[in-house]
Amino acid sequence: MTSRLQVTEIERVRESLHAAHSVFVLTGAGVSAESGVPTFRGGGNAAVWKGMPFYEISSAGMVERDLPEVWAWFDYRLGVLSDLKPNPAHKTLARWQDKFSSFTLATQNIDGLHQAAGSRDVYELHGNVWTARCIECDARSDVRRLGAARPPVCLDCRNPMRPDVVLFGEMLPVGVFDRAVDAARTAEVCFVVGTSALVYPAASLPEVAKRGGAFLVEVNPEKTPLTEYCDASLRGPAGELLPLLGFE
């Protein structure tokens, strides 16, 4: 049951959103979890793949040491994701992109569910699990169009390809974070949805927006380190709360 305090908070957010011309949204794992996407993190040093902890099999070093094994792990992940669908949070954000003079969606998720819901020009801060990238020429291809060979072979230069995601020990994609910073800096309203705001540098984006004068809104089932910094905090699943804000 939604409390009276929560209803009041929703109204405050709705008013700010409907008055805004520029909106910036940062999403995290919580949004995709509502579609059934697991985090794959075993917790601590728990072995999650053939005796290897998550941070090892998903590392830059592993790409250099055993690229076929990295692909075995990512093919498993793709199998888990293949039947999952966007939830109401993804769909609501896709509708929002046509309601404002300026709308930017940045995500820490790599599952492609925002695009599947219809979102365009998503700033994928950590890459996309459905894309392969050549280790030599940086050409990119949809994994689903590359056949069964592992590692896949680049269609341009015939060299091996790797998953086009940010692995442990790697920096964010060149340019993507800078564009997100620019969008956050000029936003009138900034939403932080389904993320604990702990993973930097992505977690700095709400801070940039707040310093720029944005009305900062958190949507999360639980309090996070960002909560006290926000102008409004909505407690609950994004798939239930975002549709309540309008533009449906």
Residue with tokens 């695009």: 115
Q: How far apart are CA 19 and CA 32, in angstroms?
A: 28
pLDDT of residue 219: 97
- 44 in the Ramachandran plot: left (φ > 0), alpha (ψ -120 to 50) or beta? left
Of 200, 204, 172, the residue nearest 185 (C-alpha):
204
Q: How far apart are CA 116 and CA 91, in angstroms?
A: 9
Q: Which fold is adopted by the domain 4-37+85-126+171-245?
A: Rossmann fold (3.40.50)
Whether 21 is a known active-site residue: answer no
Measure Cα distances from 237 to 33, 138, 219, 222 in Å.
10, 37, 8, 10
Q: 171: which 2 tokens?
A: 């920096």
The residues that bridge with 234 in the sheet, in sequence order, are 219
Break the chain into its structural domains and give their ranges. 4-37+85-126+171-245, 47-82+137-165
180, 204 contact by CB (below 8 A): no
229, 197 contact by CB (below 8 A): no
The residues that bridge with 131 in the sheet, in sequence order, are 142
Active-site position among 21, 90, 114, 126 = 126
Per-residue pLDDT reduced to its tens digit, 179-207: 999 999 999 999 999 998 778 898 899 99
Secondary structure (3-state) at 37: coil
Q: How far apart are CA 210 and CA 194, in angstroms?
A: 18
Secondary structure (3-state) at 98: coil
Per-residue pLDDT reduced to its tens digit, 94-137: 999 999 999 999 999 999 999 999 999 999 999 999 999 999 99
Per-residue pLDDT reduced to its tens digit, 212-241: 999 999 999 999 999 999 999 999 999 999
* Dihedral over alpha carbons 18, 112, 178, 225 (to 10 degrees): 70
Supply the pTM of this predicted model: 0.93
Q: How far apart are CA 9 and CA 188, in angstroms?
A: 18
Which of the four pLDDT bands, split at 50, 70 and 90, describes residue 42? very low
Flag whether pLDDT at 175 surpasses 70. Answer: yes
